[in-house]
Structure formats: C-alpha cells, structure tokens
Amino acid sequence: MDKREEKMELVRTAADYTGRLIEGINEAVDLFHEGMEGKALDLVIQIIDGLKWTMEAITVTLDVQEEAIDISEINDAFNAMSEALENVDYVLIADVLEYEILPKVEEWNQKLFITAGEES
C-alpha cells in the first residue's frame, strides 16, 4: 500500500469515526439537559480525545482531501469549552458542544466523506 492509499484509508476511518463522534456529542448534550452531569462529563473526556485524534488524522491527510479542512476553526470553541469546564458551567459546556463543536464536526464529516467517496 502506497502513502496515498494509506492516507485514503485514514480518511475513510476518520469519516466513519466523525459519525460516531457526532452521536457522542449529541448524547452528551442530552445528558447535560437531563441533569446527568457525571455521565455527560465522562463522555466529554472521550469526545475531547476523539476530537484530538480526528484533528491529527485531518492534518496528516490534508494533501489528499477534496475540500481542505481547517481545524483551526474549532480553536475558539475549545477555548470556550476549557473555560466552561474550569467554571463547572454545565449549561455552557452543553451549548458549546451543541452550537460550536457539533456543527464543525458535522462539516468535517461531510468533507471527509466527499474525499472518501471520490476515491471509492
């Protein structure tokens, strides 16, 4: 397998993974809204790890992406999330996840699937 094929396989994996990440973000938001902060925070830790992996995968595959993904667009959301976590502000954590991070991950998911689909 050459480097391009390896990167395309990573794009396909990242496309599938971002779909699961979207589900996890929605679940965490629902848990926060239901007052189940402990379970929601456990998910947030997994979401942050998942976002980190996804951003690394996106960075490594930039040269094969049909529509380049700019991961820096999520920096403001990360800063807001960090502040909300420091202040133990569950409403803000849920809002940042739902209104700032989720739309970006959905956009990444679409662009990754476009790239994966073009090569299929």
In this predicted structure, what is the pLDDT of residue 1? 77
User: How far, CA to CA in Å, does 5 sit from each of 19, 46, 61, 94, 119?
Assistant: 21, 28, 11, 38, 9
In this predicted structure, what is the pLDDT of residue 13? 97
| CA–CA dist 102, 108 (Å, integer) | 10
Using a pLDDT cut of 70, give the percent of the chain over it: 98
| Structure token pair of residue 63 | 């040269």
In this predicted structure, what is the pLDDT of residue 118? 52
Question: Do 51 and 105 form a contact (C-beta atoms < 8 A)?
Answer: yes
Interval 2-26: pLDDT, tens? 999 999 999 999 999 999 999 999 9
Ranges of the chain with pLDDT below 50:
119-120
Q: Over the chain, what is the mean pLDDT? A: 95
Domains contained in the chain, number: 1
In this predicted structure, what is the pLDDT of residue 120? 36
Domain that holds residue 40: 3-119
In this predicted structure, what is the pLDDT of residue 63? 96
In this predicted structure, what is the pLDDT of residue 93? 97
